[in-house]
Amino acid sequence: MKILYSVQATGNGHISRAMELLPFLKNYGNVDIFLSGANSTLALDGTVKYRSKGLSLFYTCSGTLSYKKMFKNIDPLKMFKEVRDLPVENYDLVINDFECITAMACARKKVPSVNFGHQASFLSDKTPRPEKTSKMGEWILKNYAKATQYIGLHFQSYDNFIFSPVIKSEILKADAKDKGHITVYLPSYCDEVLKQHLLPFSDFQFEVFSHQKKERSREGNIQYIPVTKADFNESLINCHGIITGGGFETPAEAIYLKKKLLAIPIQGQYEQQCNGAALKLLGVPVLDKLDDNFPDHFNHWMNEAKAPSVTYDYSTEAIINILMCRCTRIGQQLDFNYPNLVFN
In the chain, the domains with their CATH numbers are 2-165+314-330 (3.40.50), 169-303 (3.40.50.2000)
> What is residue 71's predicted lDDT score, i.e. its pLDDT?
63
- Give pLDDT tens digits for 272-305: 999 999 999 999 999 999 999 999 999 999 999 8
Is there a contact between 156 and 252 (Cβ–Cβ < 8 Å)?
A: no
**Range with the poorest average pLDDT among 45-59, 141-155, 196-210, 214-228:** 45-59
d(CA 131, CA 269): 15
Enter the pTM of the model.
0.88
> What is residue 341's predicted lDDT score, i.e. its pLDDT?
34
> What is residue 90's predicted lDDT score, i.e. its pLDDT?
96
Name the DSSP letter for residue 211: S
- Give pLDDT tens digits for 2-40: 999 999 887 677 888 888 999 999 999 999 999 987 655
> What is residue 332's predicted lDDT score, i.e. its pLDDT?
42
> What is residue 314's predicted lDDT score, i.e. its pLDDT?
78
> What is residue 338's predicted lDDT score, i.e. its pLDDT?
35
> What is residue 69's predicted lDDT score, i.e. its pLDDT?
66
Residue 329 has pLDDT above 60, yes or no: no
First to last CA, the chain: 29
| Average predicted confidence (pLDDT) for the chain | 88
Is there a contact between 45 and 25 (Cβ–Cβ < 8 Å)?
A: no
- CA atoms 119, 186, 190, 216: torsion sign: negative
Residue 233 has pLDDT above 90, yes or no: yes
The DSSP bridge partners found for residue 244 are: 185, 263
Residues of the chain with pLDDT > 90, as a percent, come to 69
CA distances from 311 to 12, 153, 276 (A): 24, 14, 19
CA distances from 246 to 72, 136, 268, 280, 295 (A): 25, 18, 11, 11, 20
- Tell me the one-letter amino acid at 204: F
Q: Which residues 6+ apart lie within 8 Å of 289 measured at CB? A: 62, 63, 264, 267
> What is residue 16's predicted lDDT score, i.e. its pLDDT?
84
Q: Which residues 6+ apart lie within 8 Å of 139 measured at CB? A: none
CA distances from 79 to 19, 76, 91, 102, 168 (A): 25, 5, 21, 10, 32
> What is residue 326's predicted lDDT score, i.e. its pLDDT?
76
At 331, the pLDDT band (50, 70, 90 cuts) reads very low
Residue 84 has pLDDT above 80, yes or no: yes
- Give pLDDT tens digits for 111-134: 999 999 999 999 999 999 999 999
Q: Is 32 helix (H, G, I), strand (E, B) or coil?
A: strand
At 316, the pLDDT band (50, 70, 90 cuts) reads confident
Q: Which residues 6+ apart lie within 8 Å of 265 measured at CB? A: 245, 246, 272, 273, 275, 276, 286, 288
- Tell me the one-letter amino acid at 21: L
Residue 203 has pLDDT above 50, yes or no: yes
Residues of the chain with pLDDT > 70, as a percent, come to 86
